[in-house]
Structures are given as structure tokens and as C-alpha cells.
Chain A
Amino acid sequence: MPDDHRYLSKLACELLLGAALAGWPLAALAAGAIDTQDFDQVQRGHYLTVAGDCAACHTLPGSGRDFAGGRIVETPFGHLVAPNITPDPRTGIGAWTDDEFVNALTKGTGRHGERLYPAMPFTYYTKLSRQDALAIRAYLNTVPAVDNPIKSDQLPFPFNIRLSMAGWDELFFKPGEFKPDPHKSAQWNRGAYLTEGLGHCGMCHTPKNVAGADETGDALQGYALQGWFAPNITNEARRGLGSWSVDQIAAYLQNGENGIAVGNGLMAETIHLSTSHLTDADAEAIAVYLKDRPEDQGKQQAEAAPASSPPDQTTMKAGEQIYADECSGCHTPDGKGVTGLFPSLHGTPFVQQTDPTNLIHVVLRGALGVATKAAPTAPEMPAFAWVLSDDHIAALLTYVRNSWGNAAPAVGAGDVSKERAKLDERND
């Protein structure tokens, strides 16, 4: 009775969806009750695909060819090119079985058993339920098939030898579906599932070891990549999200703007493509989970030490003058900025990260704030590389990082010089 089957299946999916929104891991529900052509399944798959930000790698911006691959993925070891995941049978994943798809997503295993490079965040997606993985598949089955052959692997020797990945997996990959913590709320568990799994936040925000694997002991404490520093998003008071409320974190994810900060840099794209489309419940769940990431007190104290002895006063004085001449017209004399337009520098984590990369970056090259439906303004930070020397920027940032109650290590001219040289080689 195919009709009955479909009906039941649809009902099952509605239950699944309800369960998802309630924060319950879906693995608890019966496997096999999935109809990959079901409308609700496809809709849920679409939502999960956006929440997982698959397009960030698999859609080449401006190509008009969703999920057809071709975007270069930077890794510390060289460049990969994201593959075509449209249903095209020859160049996409149209010919893959569901199991092959789920294995690639959650186990990092290619169609022919080869190991995938962890630029594909399977170390996070492994926490996905099979049902969620299949929902994503269901949605991807509905996008236009594009004939676009991609030569994915462009790493230099020796990293181009995929066999080496087996050893890497052995060391750094802990496969396994998300297990809810029964001592925490459903909302917390939903947040954990999204943060540690589908959202793969640590992919940018967690420090990496020499092999490019997460330093799991320092999870979400910030990591420098691609000319930026993905900041600390634990609940640390100064550098983390300690000073932000759950609502402010959720607003930042959804609107790109929360009255304190405006999303820019790498996060601007993540907000644009992914987090601005999260439901209120999911954005809040992530915020609740992040607010429960403990701060690393010992480390914070150790790293804050250089600032506890006040920075050199001549530097601070020069920085104050530079700030008054170039910055206060937007960020205001007290550093508080303008809600919805110019980010606050006053007590905000963005300026107090141990690693000043982002500050140097935006001062040198400017930045475009993210535009969302709720906050379309997209304010611009202009580039100052033409007028501020390395010494100037060092003084300015040392001043900003140690004024209005801020405390962070001083920035040296050498730090600026290094970033300037690095950025000069980037075209993004």
C-alpha cells in the first residue's frame, strides 16, 4: 500500500521535525521511516543544509550554480577545491547511494572508500543523525544538476597522498553520533548538536594542532585563519561572550548586528549564508550552549598579564590622538559606537582577543559589515593602510585594547608589519 506508506512516512517526518525543534536527537526515532521525496523532508533538508553552511564551500559565489563546487578551500597545507554535490550523475553525487552519502558526510569516507581531507568538516558532521544526513541528501536531490567536473585535490606533496589521512583519522577523528547530555536541558542539547555538529563552529573557532586537527582542550577559544582571527566564543568574561546575553548572541547570529557588534570578515559570509536563516529557537539554543562553554581561567590570567602592567604611556598618548583624528568620528569618543552602525569598542570581546589579527586587518584593509533582512545597513570600515604606519597602528590598537576598561596585550609594530605583508598576498 504505497499510499499508506507515504502517509505514515509523512507523519513520521512531522514527528521528526517536531522532535528536532524540541531539541531531541532524532536517532531515537525509528530509522527507515524516511521518504526522501517527501515535501517536509526536503524542506527540513534545506534548513539543515543552510544551517550547516554547505554552500559556503560547494557554491562558487557569483557562478549562479548552486552546489556545483569549484570554490577553493584554503587549508594550512595547501588548496583543495570543493566538489560538485549537485545530483549530476557524472560530475556530481547523483549516482551515489544514500549510504555512500551518509558515509562521506559523517565518516569522511569517499565513494570508493578513500579518505576525505578534513577540510570537509566530517569531524563535526559525524555527530549528525542519519535522519538529518538523509534530509540533507533529500534536499540536494532537488537542486538543479550541473555538469561541472572538479579536480578536488590540489595539495602539494606529501599532503596529496590520501593514504596519509588514515593515520590522521586514527589520531584525531572520533566518529560517532551526538549523544545528548541527560543532565542538560533540551535547549542546551539542541545548541550543542548545532554548535558541535552541523554548525561546525569549531572548524574556525577552535585552535588547531600542527596536523590541522582541533586542540579539543581549547575548544572554541579562537583560531587565526585566512588573514583573520575567529574569536574566542566561550563564555570568557573579557575575550569571550561573557559580556553578551543569550539574546545578544542570538541577535548577532540572526541579524548580523546586536547593538554592540556588526558581523564582518569571515563571519559576515557565515551570517549571510547560514546563521541569519536560523529559527529563533535554534539561534537561542546555540547561544545557551555557548554561554555554558567554560572559560579557561588559568590561560586568561596568563595572557592578560602583559596588560596588567599598563602599556607605555607615550604609546597610549599617540594612540589616543590617532583615535581622535581617525576613529572617533564613527566609533565615538567613548568607544561605544552607534547602535546598528558602528561597532562598539568599549569592553567588547572583538578588540580584546589575545591575537590582534582582526583589528590589524580591518584597520589596514577596511571591512564591510554583513547585511541581513533585519539589519540591511552593511556599514563600511574604510581602509587606513595608506595613512597609518605600522607604528601608528600599533599605538592605536594598543590604545583601543587598553582604554575604557579594556585590557589586552599591547600590539607591536612588528605584529602589524607581519600582517601587512601577509595581507598584501591575499586578494580577498
Chain B
Amino acid sequence: MPRKLPHKDVAIIGLGWTGSILANELTDAGLDVVAIERGPWRDTGTDFAISYAQDELRYRLRHELFLRNSQMSVTFRNNQSQTALPVRSWGAFMLGNGVGGAGVHWNAETWRFQPTDFTLRSHLTQRYGASFLPADMTIQDWGITWNEIEPYYDMFEYLCGTAGQAGNLGGKIQAGGNPYEGPRSRPYPTPPQKQGYGHMLFAEGAAKLGYKPFPQPSGNMSQGYTNPLGVTLGPCTYCGFCEWFGCANNSKASPQTTVLPALLRKSNFEARTDSEVTRINLDNTGKRATGVTYVDSSGEEYEQPADLVLVCAFSLFNVQLLLLSGVGTPYDPNTGQGQIGRNFTHQTMSSALGFFDKDKYNFNPFVASGAIGMIIDEFNGDNYDHGPLGFVGGGYIGQVQTNGRPIESTAVPPETPAWGPKWKQAVKDNYLSTINSGGACHGSMYSYKDVYLSLDPTYKDRFGRPLMRITIDFHDNELKMSSFLTDKYAGILQAMGAKQIVKKPRKGPYDVTEYQTSHLNGGAIMGDNPGNSAVNRYLQSWDVPNLFVIGASAFPQNAGYNPTGTVGALAFWVAEAIRSQYLKNPGPLVHA
């Protein structure tokens, strides 16, 4: 029998970005909040101290800060005809763990989606006609508009101190910024970061070709910044150990550096760490959550009753908890019925290597930050005419080389032997003079009928719960787009003066061992009615109104940007809806 704990107003599952933001907002509203986090507490001075944070083997190759597959993994297959097999060690995506979640190890590329991303199906149908979209593409509108979400993007950026150059201030295009961004209500809180040689050379090359390059919006600080909660971040030192790593000098926006110091001071907040929620408890009507059950590190089981349950785990695990707890109806790809698990997406990443003359170019690739980079947005979303191209979607293209860590950054020309003296010579000759921008083409992935999440029939976690099963493959639309973007990028490398270019467009089938990004989305998507979504526009479960499911699980499809800016904006949007509407009148905020 689980031990029953005293009642709380709010139980939050997971203490990453969304959990921290929601906890802070709801404690401000006077609620008694507990956050239950399956990983450990993590902090700067202890877990990624400046004397040992810069360790590629430990943090990148051995996954120090990540969820151990032995605690929880997923299974994967390309299509329904295959038997899904477990991911025994992370590959295509790396899932965070512990307090701060992915907010600890991200690069801090802090993007907004485009206004048309939120009304994607309506927009594309209107511009190109319904028959232009592949028949099995299941993209849809989000149920919110740009004007509604913009103020919440602003809140997240001012929480993080995002460094950037506005491109569209209230409808007026700004020089040096992204002219394709949606109108923003005010400038970024801090100026853009400085850029390295390779990044500026990209900007010059792109400008030569007529594009409008701009600095990537960055959660690595360009200067000291104190956010509205009074928490101070320091300036980034371009150490080149950002993604996969915790920041040792408080210069990367994370829950630790923006929210938690203020949140942890509050007497109406408490975090329980090393405690894994095993299910959301429902009453006998199935229409009301009564709290959660969790297991601590010694195996003791607890029941935490709460009036409001917020599912703030990583997207995949949000969906898994819904399925394991019997919230909503599981998606069936054969009938298209059911919402839980539907419209799962990842990203379509591609790149090209640019080898430059070593006697003329020295890029010092190790002088970099996680979100450094110069970008063009001409080929993102629907910023360009897809009519003649026969596909939809796109992505930003940029020189976003974040590091020169030797194990990952010793790319050599393809004709080089894999070992021996010639390999050594090639490593030496190319290390400083190669443009190796892993995320150069940050392509969208739209949703399809046969790409989805479900519970695995065979593989279980340590408690005997089914693992999440991912069924995913690339569709022609995405592969065509990737090829198009990669060619555009290679064209810029050419303009930069590369002597050898090796294009790496994304190819199918989807491979779970090849890292792309950790941007997994969908499965509990938002929408305007229970027939097309798991949660309403406020990320409130259609089925269980005192349950909110917050994170990238709500994205109906993925855009050509990194998701965290949008995830943060949604967290503030939900918090506002709970504070101003739900608390006054608990119940469905949208009537089906």
C-alpha cells in the first residue's frame, strides 16, 4: 500500500523548465505546490563546477547529465510492420534528467515560431490548396494565434535574458534582425552575443548571395542580466562546453539560473527529487485526477493527493503517463481515432562540411557558445514559395558551430583513411579550418498518420510498466525539404570560400542511432476540439479538466526552429489561464 501524504493544492510532475515556471507562477497565486522529479537535484557549483565541467568524455560521450536508459528508455521502429526494439543507449535524441531537466544541458537557442506556424493547415491550404499537402500529412492549427502567444514569448525571453537583435518591432522591420519573425512587442532584453570568425564569414557569404543574416537568439548571456524575479545571470565566456553540459558560470539560462533560486525560497513550495511518478490517479468517474503516485529511490511508494495535477515531464513521458494512467483514448493509426500518441514529430536536421585552406583560415572552433551563430531565415516555414518545389516546410540555415571539442570536432575529408598517419595528419590539418555546423539546416518535421506513440507490448521499465514505443520514419516531403535546404547551405559555404564541401542531407530511413536534436514533440497535442486534440488551447486535458499537460507534447507538428522558446511561452500561457480563469472557476476552460 502506498503511503498517503498530506494533500497539496498542486502536484507537478517533473521540475524542468515548464515545472519550474508553473510552480513559480502558482506559488505566487498562493497555492501550495509540490514538484516531484525523478532525477536528482543539480546545481552549478556541485554538478558542473568550473574546475571539471569541460569534460567531453564524461558529459558528452558518457551522458553524465542524462536520463539513464536503465531507469527509463523507449522502443523504436520505422513502421508498423516491424517489431520495435529498445533504445539501449541514447542516440538520435538525448533525454535530460534531474532538476532543471533539458534546461540544464541545452544550447539555449531561444527561438519563436512564426505566426503562420500556429495556423499551419489553414495557411498552407489557403495558399496552395488542400491537394498540395500529402494525403497522410496530419498537420493542423494549434487553436491559438500569434497575437495571443506573443506576450508569453516575451515573458520567457525576459525570464532568460535572451540575447538577440529584434527583426520586427511591432510591425516595423529592424536592420540586422530576422525580418521574417512575427511582430514582437519589445526588443530582446540583452544585445546579441559576439560572433566568431566562422560565424561572421557565413554572414558575409550569405549577404553576398542576397540573404539577410542575423545573430541567433541566445540564452547564453552577452552581458550580466537580472531578470524580473531578481535572479542574476553572468556573461557567457565562450567556453565551448554548452550543449550536453551544465554551465559553470551561470551564463546559460536554465531553471537553475533563472527561476529556482526565487522559487525555492517560498514556503509554499517543495521539491521531491529522486522520486518517479508512476501514474496519475483518477477518481472512479475517470474525469477527475486525485493526485499522483510516486516511488522514491528506496522503492517506497507514496500517494500524493492534489486538486490540480500538472504533467511537466519531457514530451514523450507526458504521453506515456497519460497512456499508463488511462487518461483519454490511445491513438489508433489504422482508424485515425483516439488522441493520445497522435502527431508525434521530431526534427529534420542536415548539414554540410566545409573544408577551408588551412593556411588562410583559422576558425578557432573551440571559442564558441551554445547558441552562438549567424542565421538566415529565408527558407523557413512558408517564407518562400513552395509551389514549384513540391514540398512544404523548411528551416533556418546557419553557421551555428557551438564547439571545438576534439572527439566530436575532428572531421576529416571523406577520402581520409580511418586510422594511421594519414588520419592524424588530416585531423591536424583540418581541425582549425573546417566549418562543421551540426545543426546547419534546422528543418521542420510535419506530422503524419503513421508516425505516433503507443505503449510497447514487450519491453517494460523497472516497475513493469510498458515503455513508450516510437513509430517514426521520414516522409518524402521532409527528405525533399532537407535536400533543398542542404543545397542552399552548401551554396553559402561556397560563397564563403570553402575548398571542399561534403553535403549531408538527411536520408531515410529514420535512424535512432544518429543524433539529430532532442526535440521530440506531439503525442498530446493542443487543438480547438476534443476530436482533433488531447488538450485544449490552455493545454488542459479534454478528458480530465484538473489535469494540464505542458510541454512540446502539445505541438501539433514541429516547425523549423528549436522548441524551447515555444515551450516556455506555453508554460507562461498556461499559468496565466490557471491563475486568471481556472482558479476562479475550476472546470473546463473550453467547452467542447
Say yes or no: A376-B261 contact (C-beta < 8 A), given A366-B45, A381-B45, A382-B45. Answer: yes
A329 contacts which of B226, B237, B261 (Cβ < 8 Å)?
Answer: B237
Q: Say yes or no for A11: interface residue by CB 8 A criterion.
A: no
Q: Sort chain A's interface into a size bin.
A: 20 to 34
Contact residues of A with B, CB < 8 Å? Answer: 326, 329-330, 338-342, 366, 368, 371, 373-384, 386-387
Determine whether the beta carbon of A383 is less than 8 Å from that of B224: no
Q: Say yes or no for B49: interface residue by CB 8 A criterion.
A: yes
Determine whether the beta carbon of B45 is less than 8 Å from that of A371: no
Interface membership of chain B positions 527-541, coded 1 if the CB is closer than 8 angstroms to chain A and 0 otherwise = 000000000000000
Say yes or no: A341-B239 contact (C-beta < 8 A), given A326-B51, A376-B261, A376-B265. Answer: no
Query: Chain A residues near B233 (CB, 8 Å)?
Result: 341
A294 to B198, CA, bound (A): 57
Q: Say yes or no for B248: interface residue by CB 8 A criterion.
A: yes
Query: Chain A residues near B262 (CB, 8 Å)?
Result: 376
A382 to B247, CA, bound (A): 13
Q: Say yes or no for B138: interface residue by CB 8 A criterion.
A: no
A17 to chain B, nearest CB (A): 28
Query: Chain A residues near B249 (CB, 8 Å)?
Result: 329-330, 342
A-B contact pairs, 25 of them (CB 8 A): A326-B50, A329-B239, A329-B249, A330-B50, A330-B248, A338-B232, A339-B232, A340-B226, A368-B45, A373-B265, A374-B230, A375-B230, A376-B231, A376-B261, A376-B262, A377-B231, A379-B250, A380-B44, A380-B45, A382-B50, A382-B51, A382-B248, A383-B49, A386-B51, A387-B52
Determine whether the beta carbon of A376 is less than 8 Å from that of B229: yes
CB nearest neighbor in A for B231: A377
A338 to B233, CA, bound (A): 9
Interface membership of chain B positions 271-299, coded 1 if the CB is closer than 8 angstroms to chain A and 0 otherwise = 00000000000000000000000000000
B232 contacts which of A329, A330, A340, A387 (Cβ < 8 Å)?
Answer: A340
A387 to B51, CA, bound (A): 8
| A341-B234, A342-B249, A374-B230 given; 8 more Cβ-contact pairs under 8 Å | A329-B248, A340-B224, A341-B250, A373-B230, A376-B261, A376-B265, A380-B43, A382-B51
CB nearest neighbor in A for B258: A377
Q: Say yes or no for B235: interface residue by CB 8 A criterion.
A: yes
Query: Chain B residues near A384 (CB, 8 Å)?
Result: 51
A171 to B52, CA, bound (A): 53
Query: Chain B residues near A383 (CB, 8 Å)?
Result: 45, 49
A382 to B52, CA, bound (A): 10
B77 to chain A, nearest CB (A): 44
Determine whether the beta carbon of B265 is less than 8 Å from that of A330: no
Contact residues of B with A, CB < 8 Å? Answer: 43-46, 49-52, 224, 226, 229-235, 237, 239, 248-250, 261-262, 265
CB nearest neighbor in B for A339: B224
Query: Chain A residues near B224 (CB, 8 Å)?
Result: 338-341
A337 to B548, CA, bound (A): 42
CB nearest neighbor in B for A342: B234
Determine whether the beta carbon of A371 is less than 8 Å from that of B51: no
Closest 8 CB pairs of A and B: A380-B45, A382-B49, A340-B232, A382-B45, A338-B234, A341-B232, A376-B262, A377-B232
A76 to B248, CA, bound (A): 38
B31 to chain A, nearest CB (A): 20
Query: Chain A residues near B248 (CB, 8 Å)?
Result: 329-330, 382
A371 to B46, CA, bound (A): 17
Query: Chain B residues near A368 (CB, 8 Å)?
Result: 45
Query: Chain B residues near A326 (CB, 8 Å)?
Result: 50-51
A374 to B44, CA, bound (A): 21
Determine whether the beta carbon of B46 is less than 8 Å from that of A330: no
CB nearest neighbor in A for B51: A387
CB nearest neighbor in B for A381: B45
Query: Chain B residues near A376 (CB, 8 Å)?
Result: 229-231, 261-262, 265
A342 to B224, CA, bound (A): 10
A341 to B237, CA, bound (A): 15
Determine whether the beta carbon of B261 is less than 8 Å from that of A377: yes
B218 to chain A, nearest CB (A): 17
Query: Chain A residues near B232 (CB, 8 Å)?
Result: 338-341, 375, 377, 379
Determine whether the beta carbon of A380 is less than 8 Å from that of B46: yes
Query: Chain A residues near B51 (CB, 8 Å)?
Result: 326, 382, 384, 386-387
Query: Chain A residues near B46 (CB, 8 Å)?
Result: 380, 382
Query: Chain A residues near B234 (CB, 8 Å)?
Result: 330, 338, 341-342
A220 to chain B, nearest CB (A): 30
A96 to B317, CA, bound (A): 60
CB nearest neighbor in A for B54: A329
B28 to chain A, nearest CB (A): 13
B50 contacts which of A329, A341, A371 (Cβ < 8 Å)?
Answer: A329
Query: Chain B residues near A338 (CB, 8 Å)?
Result: 224, 232, 234-235
A140 to chain B, nearest CB (A): 22
